[in-house]
Chains A and B, each alone.
Chain A
Amino acid sequence: MLLIPIPEHGRLRDMIFLFIRLALIHARVLLRNPVCLLLSLATALLTLLLPLAFAHTFGNTAARLAQDGGLAFQFVAGIVFAAYAACAITGSARASGTEALTLAKPVSPTLLFLARYAGIAGGLALFCVTTATATLLAMRIAEAFSPATGYCIDFTTATIAVASAILACLLGALLNRFRNASFHASVFVLLPLLLIVTAGSSGFYNRLGAWQSPPAYTLDVAILTAALRIGLALLMFAALTQVLALLLKPVSVGAAGLLILALGLTLPGISPAGSSPLRWLSMAIVPDWQAFWTTSASGLVPPPMPGALWLYAFCYITAILILGVHLFNRSEHA
């Protein structure tokens, strides 16, 4: 029968392939989940349609409100996405027995846990691309003044953007019908792509929809750095909930996640300001979400030390994942 010797294991290249294989299967499981698509689609549509609903701008520009609204949607829906993804992936791997079967093969629990995080992070990244592009488009849609068009809402971009979301669903249905591809996963991937195409094509027409060539872009891409920072905060939250999901039931994970979220939002306000050791200690335990929120009354402000923010997120995620790996290695898998 099968008498082929097993290739020498433990080599780095094999480990990397194994890691990618495991991360991909987890990402696939996640993208097939209807709740993830629902969150992504709903957030994108809410963000895109928000500028059409402004009755009063409270002295701000409409674009400014669209920006804050879009980023807030990304953060809030992203929190739900991260917590749900962690619980769903951990729970389904346990319930279906794939976790036990994978660990009965020569796969170290450490690798499986990290690959699982990579899978969730991949889904979260795609979610953030969707919502960030939607925010970018919403800022263009929002009522604004241009010499050529005067004050107007950009209904053309709104229509194209919403149509691209519908198109994503239609293409997903076709892929499902003719290629047996998962509808949910296809739409989840197609949605950001089509929104990016919409943003790319928005330079070719002005706010009233008249053709303009050469293209002139009015997209405020600085918003993407803000969306990236929120994405970073969401990655920290995903790591946190993935570790919590090892210990608690989904409802408790949600509750604990909310508690940590609330603590992280309030602690910086009540702990001593500046860079006192106490402040650092509190930031080391509960993430300081405020540090990732970079819009203020004066618009989009870069953080005082962008490098430090990345370093902080990296260290936090690493520490949490090390804790998770330790727990996962100690726990039983049946």
Chain B
Amino acid sequence: MKQTALETIALTKQFRDFWQRITVTAVKEVSFQVATGTVFGLLGPNGSGKTTTLRLMTGLLHPSSGCIRILGDSPTSLQTRRRIGYLPETDGFYEFLSGRDNLRFYAGLFGYSGREASRRADTLLDTVGLIRDAHRPVGEFSKGMKRRIGLAQALLNDPELLILDEPTAGLDPAGCRQVKELLRQRAQSGRTVVVSSHLLADIEDLCESVCILHQGRVVAQGRLAEMLEQREQHRFTTGVLTTAQCESLQESFLSITGSAALMDHPHRALESYFTQVVEQVGQPSS
């Protein structure tokens, strides 16, 4: 049994107007657990409460009721915040500072010395592929570049728990793949990742378990593999067959099961095709 890195119990968040009237209940009685060393996905359409849930986790919003335990502690404790990394939905950078200076500033907030902050900033700029643009003001960055530097910022303290709000929004396919690879590696090394997204393809090949939100409520949750498995069907995969072989197989299926089997060529994911084509041209997109 894996340890729990994060747990929410009946978490509810209501937003109120000036007169303290409830305007919207963004999160309703949300309960889930995230095991240490896994990637957990928070799915849902726009306005379903993903960002609100993540902000509650980081202690930036206060729950109306219910509770959250992060790494065994409250989300507002400074000790917890030393151990988590957070990528907000909107980037929180000083636009006039360069990418490197922004990272060094935020590294400084963890108490790192100037040299250590620079070292971490440069390592991470390299990791997210921004080392060439590190000297440019963040205000000039494209959306995808901001997401990349945001991710670098979230990794500054090598956090045990990484909370990412739509990390792949605005990223090119190569960037998406790199991010997913990075997150997978972190989970393998025993760290926990929570991502929110409405891009299902991103979640599908990354998350071990997911929670689907709709209008602030949990509508489904569990291990992704179990949720997607269609137990009422079987699938065989083989190498290429001749037409004669196909026909004889179909006959066998018909005689054994009484019905014909569906036979076609599998489709590969567009992402892997795109990556292959781009790499063949020898021009990695930036």
- Residue B220 lies at the interface, judged by CB distance under 8 Å to chain A: no
Contact with A along B72-109 (1 / 0, CB 8 A): 00000011011010101011111110000000011011
- Residue B155 lies at the interface, judged by CB distance under 8 Å to chain A: yes
Contact in complex: A97, B94 (CB < 8 Å): no
Number of A-B residue pairs with CB-CB distance less than 8 Å in the complex they form: 98
A102–B88 CA distance with the chains assembled, in angstroms: 11
- Residue B62 lies at the interface, judged by CB distance under 8 Å to chain A: yes
A3–B62 CA distance with the chains assembled, in angstroms: 31
Contact in complex: B106, A101 (CB < 8 Å): yes
Say which one of A6-14, A55-63, A310-318 lies at the interface with B.
A6-14
- Residue B276 lies at the interface, judged by CB distance under 8 Å to chain A: no
Contact in complex: B81, A105 (CB < 8 Å): yes
Contact in complex: B92, A100 (CB < 8 Å): yes
Q: Which range holds the interface residue count of chain B?
A: 35 or more
Q: Which range holds the interface residue count of chain A?
A: 20 to 34
**Interface SS of chain B:** loop
- Residue B112 lies at the interface, judged by CB distance under 8 Å to chain A: yes
- Residue A333 lies at the interface, judged by CB distance under 8 Å to chain B: yes
Contact in complex: B108, A21 (CB < 8 Å): yes
A202–B95 CA distance with the chains assembled, in angstroms: 42
In the complex, residue of chain B having the shortest beta-carbon distance to the beta carbon of A331: B62
Residues of B within 8 A of A105 (CB): 81, 106, 109-110
- Residue A162 lies at the interface, judged by CB distance under 8 Å to chain B: no
Contact with A along B26-67 (1 / 0, CB 8 A): 000000000000000000000000000001001111100000
- Residue B157 lies at the interface, judged by CB distance under 8 Å to chain A: yes
Contact in complex: A103, B60 (CB < 8 Å): yes
Contact of A2 among B88, B90, B155 (CB under 8 A): B155
Given known contacts A96-B92, A104-B88, A21 and B105 CB-to-CB distance under 8 angstroms:
yes
**Given known contacts A18-B109, A104-B84, what 15 new A-B pairs fall within 8 Å (CB)?**
A2-B120, A2-B156, A6-B111, A9-B111, A25-B94, A96-B92, A98-B94, A101-B92, A101-B153, A102-B109, A104-B59, A104-B60, A105-B109, A106-B110, A108-B78
Query: Hey, which bits of chain A sit against chain B, CB under 8 A?
Result: 1-4, 6-7, 9, 14, 17-18, 21, 25, 28-29, 32, 96-108, 182, 332-334
